[in-house]
Amino acid sequence: MDKVFIEGLEIEALIGIYDWERRIRQTLVFDLEMGFDNRVPAATDSIADTLDYKAVSKRLIEVVSQSDFGLVETLAERCAGIVMSEFKLDWLRLKLSKPGAVRGARAVGVIIERVRTQDGNG
């Protein structure tokens, strides 16, 4: 399976369960791998035939910057659902990191992987 990836996409958001977290915007970092058949765009050399990673990034920035979830798990699931459905993906791996959330750790977060089922749901 070919993959299109986005690595290190930084987006500011309100996220967290503690009062102090609810008052400041924090930088979250997204890494995505999206299953995609690269043969068609490689043959046509046309942006219309590919998975437009800039469009995916813009959509995530829009969603995340307006979000207000307590858990990174919830935000990751919402983002995965949006990207899977709006960009018609069959497979997605999404890593959402929250830098500085735990003292001594560079970042914490979640990694989720979703596969489209026969009924079209991820």
**Residues noted as catalytic:** 98
Q: Tell me which amino acid residue 95 is.
A: K
Question: Residue 3 in contact with residue 35, Cβ under 8 Å?
Answer: yes
Residues 6+ apart with CB under 8 A from 70: 15, 16, 17
Question: Residue 83 in contact with residue 94, Cβ under 8 Å?
Answer: yes
- Residue 44: both structure tokens together: 């046509």
Beta bridge partners of residue 31, listed in sequence order: 95
